[in-house]
Structure 1
Amino acid sequence: MMDVAVHGRAQISSWYVLLFEGDYTPQEDDTAANIVARATEITAYVAGTRQALTVDAAVAGATDNADNLAEVTLNANKTVHGFAIVSAAAKGATTGVLLAIQKLATGRAYANGDVIKVPVSLALTNPA
């Protein structure tokens, strides 16, 4: 964000939800290039690409997708351990930017045909 605001770098206008099935704990050196393999991205779902993240206007440094949850319809039994927000739409893509990653407290099992609705909240905070 600093590069966009201060250095004139191009803004990334589209973000996508990546679900993962590995029991993976996010690391500081995670990137879009390595997260697919490290966390084991789930690609067994009906849509041909990752689901777009559509968020509401930011208020007080925070935004979410409560009005437009990302929905993924599985076409295989899977256990979801977390999700990430990335800038590349293609399933399995290792290009682009990793914005955020979140591991769930416990994995959640889903069956073939289940629809997973993914709530996302993003906030800028001042670390104390």
Structure 2
Amino acid sequence: MKNPHQKVLIGSRWIIQHWRDKRLLAERIEENLCPDEFINYLLDVALSGGSQKANWYVLLFSDDHTPEVTDTYASPGFTESDGYDESTRPAWSEDGVSGKSISNTSSKAEFTMDGTDTTIYGAALVSDDTKGDQAASSAILGPVVQFTGGAVTGISDDDVIKVFVTVTGADDA
């Protein structure tokens, strides 16, 4: 008789859209990693009585960084884009858990770009809304994605970047 064993996989799927004047100029659909900091946070909250973060936010990054499992909120390895009009990072307004996944499909995060960051290489979920911040000591870096299909380029003032994020769990038996 074979001994049953199971591993749980946590991943993320991202849809990033570049809009100008209500026209879709580019779309990236990517999957990438969840850093160790996020996995430790999930285990702490679920199994060790850790404090849950009430809100999550989306950020964009403006350099060609390949995410690593060792990236953290305080040391993410990328340069956050602050070239957008909103004063804080947009909220990730999740739709609830269903079928081992949770997403913001019905309420995407939107960035109204100001034209200073003309290229975006990736995005991340974080637990702090402060635009450009890395100092929040209790903040967590969640799932991170690099656009391996190519950066979103040619961004101009008033273009809109829309971000849909789905975080998934799966059995790897």
TM-score bracket, shorter-length normalisation: over 0.9
1:18-63 deviation per Cα after TM superposition (whole angstroms, max 9, x unaligned): 100111100111000012xx21110011110101001111112101
Q: 2: distance between equivalents of 1:10 and 1:27?
A: 25
Q: How does 1:113-124 map to 2 (within 5 A)?
A: 113-124=158-169
State the distance in 1 between where 2:43 and 2:70 align.
19
Query: 1:91 — aligned with what?
Result: 131
RMSD: 1.2
Check if 1:2 corresponds to 2:48: no
Query: Equivalents in 2 of 1:3, 1:41: separation in Å?
Result: 27
Alignment of 1:60-71 (within 5 A): 60-71=99-110
Q: TM-score scaled by structure 2?
A: 0.69
Q: What residue is the counterpart of 1:12 in the other structure?
A: 53
More helix by share: 1
Identity, in percent, stands at 34
Task: State the secondary structure of the residue aligned to 2:151.
Answer: strand
Output the CA distance in 2 between the equivalents of 1:65 and 1:46: 21
Larger Rg: 2
Match of 2:151 in 1: 107
- List runs of 5+ in structure 2 lacking aligned partners: 1-41
Give the aligned length. Answer: 126
Secondary structure, aligned partner of 1:2: helix
Partner SS, residue 3 of structure 1: helix
What is the TM-score normalised by the length of structure 1?
Answer: 0.92
Unaligned stretches of 5+ in structure 1? none
